Structure 1
Amino acid sequence: MTTDTAKPGFPRSSPYWPVVSHPLLRRVLPGLAVSALGDGMALVAVTWLALQLAPPGQRGTWIAIAVAAYTLPSAAGTIVFGRLLSGRSGAQLAGWDAILRAAALAAIPAAHLAGALTIGLYVTLLAASSLLHSWGSAGRFTLIAELLPHRHHLPANALVSTIAGTATVVGPPLAGVLIGYAGAVWVIALDAVTFAVLALTYRLAIPAVDRTDPAADPASRTAGFGVIRHDRSLLGLLALSVGFFFLFGPVYVAMPIHVAEDLGGSATVLGVYYTAFGVGGVVGSVAAGYLRRWSLWPTLVGIVVGFGAALLPLGLGAPIAVSLPAFALAGLIWAPYMATSMALFQRSTSTTMLPQVLAANGAVTVLAVPLGTMLGGPLVTAVGARQTLLLCAAATVALGVFTGAVAILRRGIATSPAAGIG
């Protein structure tokens, strides 16, 4: 075999090489990593600062409001800013989201220094910071579609998920150390700095390009929803995602009670479960890049069924020695879902409409987990924590099986132009 025909060795043979070696994307990835670490720390800091600011008898309520404020307003932002942001490039959308996040979060320590930070102002600033979140997420994946051919979309999406997943493992314990040293408000200030770094990265690394005149399309405010509504494959994907995320919501309520009451464990044991899930998620995100030749719809259905099956040991009351590895496996199976579903959107939608479509998808799916979590409270009260986990696991398996059956009956997998990557 000659040198010209020899198969390239690692890392050039990796599906991630075209992503990390791309002349523009390689400039953005460090900024994404820094920002993801800041968001990983914010998972702890946002709730801890709410705990400190809330009146003693209302802490639980205000913590829930703060968590919701950090995510849910993005659904409204998708519609409110739809006409303004239509036709913008992926880098512009992601950059503006980073700018707003940096400014709103920086206002929190500024108000603290001025002695004006109340729980009401805190929640308001968190809500303001999240208004463009769906557009920012859409911008990241649109940028990938703009810069890379279809065959590299899944590895690029998986790399973004890997960065985020790693941050959720490293960020929370780091936040705990920093909160003990300086306080939660300064961890949020650090998060603001990371978003400022990300905004500067987008501004300097990617040339600014306006692809269309946003004022030329009077219906652009909800154009993304219209595209999804008229595409059977994308509508089915949205329904699957909403169901999948909704059924995971009650797990957040059931897991702490299951560990404490059914397994007799401590908060440390609960932390080990979540760490195992996070580590499994990082491994699954890395593995997702190697699935680029798999058909997308069967992969998504398999993820849903596999995730539900991995949750079954917890619902069946298995001991920690069994349920802990099963929860780690659930994290591994869960992780490729986002990268794969984004690849389906990227293949099915033009880059011109992709930001609106992804923002619309994000506006709907961002509501699914909180709604499922809200259901978790009365469900756990009615049937118990272990039984709630069992119901969620069984319903998730059923959702995947039903979706697969419908896809086969309608020949969606065989006839859709977005059926596969290869």
Structure 2
Amino acid sequence: MFSATPGRPVPGPYRSLFADRTFRRLMPAFALSDLGDGMTVVAVAWLALALGPEGGQGALVGIAVVAYVLPGALGALVLGRWMRRLPARRLLIADSALRAVLLGAVPLAHAAGVLTPALYVGLLGASSLLHAWGKAGKHALFAPLLSDRQRLAANSVLSTSLSSATIAGPALAGLLLPVMSPVWIIGLDAATFAVLAVQTGSTTLPPAPASGPVTGGAGQGLSLLRRRPELLGLLVVTWLFNLAFGPVEVALPLFVSHDLGAGAELLGAYWASFGIGAVIGGLTLGVAGRLPLWPAVLGIIAGHGIGMLPFALTHTAYPSLIGFAFAGLVYGPYSALSLTLIQRRTPAGSLTTVLAARSAVLLTASPLGAGLGGFLLDRVGAPAVLVGCGVLMILIVPAGTVALKTAPRARPALEPATTTAMAPTER
């Protein structure tokens, strides 16, 4: 169990997590791989722009973004028979090793002169095949060792690491792209996953509290979600939210390069501004008191949508940079809120399968949105797509409010993430 140092004052909800040697050992590896993924937010799209044919660059960016995430949903559904039997640590190792090998093949293919758009998309797709299981393993790794009150703080740390990588990763990629091909940045991402696989494999976890056997694959996880209206409603709203955000990853590079006439440095600045906001929002959640779940969720979605509206202004980057930072600020707590609720409501033996099922469903949303964004870009332009994403997010709020009023009522709030000595996980 994770516990605070005996007899030592606890100034905040995060101290007991970092007082534990295991968490301190693994968290830097998580942060490093998050940084690598942050760099590929820019590099994957920028390489697609370089490889795409004239007039079809937007379509290839959309296909590349889709390929980088969508096969993970297929892997969650098809491979559940084998993957569900693996403990969380092995799931994380398997995903990290696969991504290290296949993303590492991108710069090797480039060096050999054989990197075509088709091979590029194929390598991106194959690298994501186990990613739903890897994400499930990452979030299930510590959950059995944490008390109910500690999970929100731990999820805030993990989500803040992602948000911090959204600051540093794109900014670092923007600095490197003038002197380095995006293929080598993707190679650096592969190296970070290799480090994560090795570090996870060499770390001994403390024994988890006894729990029931692991049951079901992703299909069983979906069945469990359907039997819990609160979790199902959260999944549907999150899917729509991700769908609305999907076109942003495709439209933003073209907005920067075509509408503003700028380079990768500004694209990195956009993602960095979003990440700065998300870090502030995510860390604030960790010290917050009780939060009404559904008002918080719907408020986050509405606020994110409002932050997208300044992309209508194309004469300067400043309004949209500020709006994107605001979108990140309100988005920051979202992942920690939703993951903490799932960990609380799900039996320990089904946690990885439920998380994998959730990832499988959500992984279809952003690629679908990205594909639609790529289709629309050559017809209405990047500013219209970006503003349209914000409008769609705002429209999700009244639909979610109606669904909330008609669904069975459940406990609406999350407990504060206080830092106390760890007790056995509540079931």
TM-score over 0.5 for the pair: yes
Distance in 1 between residues matched to 2:206 and 2:125, nearest whole Å: 27
Equivalent-residue separation in structure 2 for 1:32 and 1:372 (angstroms): 27
2:288 paired with 1:306: no
State the alpha-carbon separation in 2 of the partners of residues 289 and 283 from structure 1.
Answer: 10
Is residue 32 of structure 2 the alignment partner of residue 38 of structure 1? no
The equivalent residue for 2:71 is 73
Partner of 1:163: 161
Q: 2: CA distance between counterparts of 1:107 and 1:257?
A: 27
2:286 corresponds, among 261, 286, 289, to 289
Distance (whole Å) between structure 2 residues aligned to residue 355 and residue 148 of structure 1: 15
Aligned to 2:187: 189
| 2:364 is aligned with 1:367 | yes
Deviation at 1:109, TM superposition (A): 3.5
C-alpha distance in structure 1 between counterparts of 2:221 and 2:28, whole Å: 30
Is the contact between residue 92 and residue 134 of structure 2 (CA under 8 Å) also seen in structure 1?
Answer: yes
Of stretches 242-251 and 73-82 in structure 1, the one that deviates more from structure 2 is: 242-251
The amino acid of 1:158's aligned partner reads: S
Residue equivalent to 1:345: 342
Q: Find the counterpart in structure 2 of residue 3 from structure 1.
A: none
Aligned position for 2:62:
64
Task: Show the counterpart of 1:4.
Answer: none
Question: What is the alpha-carbon distance in structure 2 between the residues aligned to residue 259 and residue 183 of structure 1?
Answer: 19
Q: What SS does the aligned partner of 1:88 have? A: coil
- How far the C-alpha of 1:31 sits from its partner, in A, is 0.6
Return the alpha-carbon distance in structure 1 between the equivalents of residues 102 and 261 of structure 2.
Answer: 39
* Counterpart in the other structure of 2:423: none
Q: Is the 8 A contact 2:166 2:271 kept in 1?
A: no
Number of matched pairs:
407
Which runs of 5 or more residues in structure 1 are unaligned?
Answer: 1-6
1:407–1:231 CA distance, 2 compared to 1 (3 A) = same
Indicate the residue corresponding to 1:421 in structure 2: 415
Question: Identity over the aligned pairs, expressed in percent?
Answer: 41
Q: Distance in 1 between matches of 2:122 and 2:375?
A: 28
Asked if the contact 2:152–2:340 (Cα under 8 Å) also holds between the matched residues in 1, the reply is yes
Amino acid aligned to 2:282: S
Change (3 A) 1:46 1:380: closer
Aligned equivalent of 1:404:
401
Structure 1 residues 57-66 or 342-351, which shifts more? 57-66
Q: Deviations over 1:334-386 (max 9, x none)?
A: 12111111111111111211111111111111221232233345667777766
Cα RMSD over matched residues?
3.4
| Alignment partner, residue 332 of structure 2 | 335
Map residues 377-392 of structure 1 onto 2, 5 A cutoff: 391-392=388-389
> 1:174: Cα distance to partner?
2.2
SS state at 1:291 partner: coil
The C-alpha deviation readout for 1:250-299, integer Å capped at 9, x for no partner, is: 4456656777898x675576654443222212222222212363233332
Alpha-carbon deviations, 1:32-69, whole Å to 9, x = none? 11111222222233334444555667554444332222
Deviation at 1:390, TM superposition (A): 5.1
Amino acid at match of 2:41: L
**TM-score with structure 1 length normalisation?**
0.83
What residue ranges of structure 2 are gaps of 5+ in the alignment? 1-6, 417-427
1:372 maps to amino acid: G
Residue 168 of structure 2 aligns to which amino acid in structure 1?
V
> 1-side partners of 2:220 and 2:76: how far apart?
11
Q: Distance in 2 between matches of 1:381 and 1:182?
A: 28
**RCO (CA 8 Å, sep 6+): is it higher in 1 or 2?**
2
Following the alignment from structure 2 to structure 1, what is the Cα–Cα distance between the partners of residues 57 and 142?
41
TM-score with structure 2 setting the length: 0.82
